[in-house]
Amino acid sequence: MKRTLFALAVITLSFAASAQKSVKPGFIAISPVHFFRNTFVASFETGIGKDKTLVFMPGVVLKDSENEDLKGFVGEIHFRYYLLHPSFEGMDTKHGGARLQPYVGPYYQYTNLTKTYPGYKYDPVTGNSTKKEFERNTTAHAGGVSVGCRALLTRNLFLDLNVGGGFRFANVDDTIFDEPQGEYPYYEDYNIFDYEYTGIAPKVGFTIGIRIY
pTM over 0.85: no
What average pLDDT does range 187-210 have in this prediction? 90
Residue 4 lies in a domain: no
pLDDT tens-place string over residues 56-89: 999 999 999 888 899 999 999 999 998 876 445 4
Number of domains in the chain: 1
Grade residue 19 by pLDDT with cuts at 50, 70 and 90.
very low
CATH of the domain at 54: 2.40.160.20
Is the torsion defined by CA of 178, 137, 201, 32 positive or negative? positive
Least Cα distance to 43 among 168, 171, 210 occurs for 210
Domain that holds residue 122: 23-211
The residue among 14 and 162 whose pLDDT is bigger is: 162
Taking all residues of the chain, what is their mean pLDDT, rounded to a whole number?
A: 81
Residue 14 lies in a domain: no
Residue 3 lies in a domain: no
Supply φ then ψ for residue 85, to 5 degrees.
-125, 75
Grade residue 165 by pLDDT with cuts at 50, 70 and 90.
very high
What average pLDDT does range 104-125 have in this prediction? 88
Q: Determine the Cα–Cα distance for residues 152 and 143; give it in Å rounded to an integer.
A: 27
pLDDT tens-place string over residues 129-144: 777 888 889 999 999 9
Residue 183 lies in a domain: yes
The residue among 187 and 102 whose pLDDT is bigger is: 102
Residue 80 lies in a domain: yes
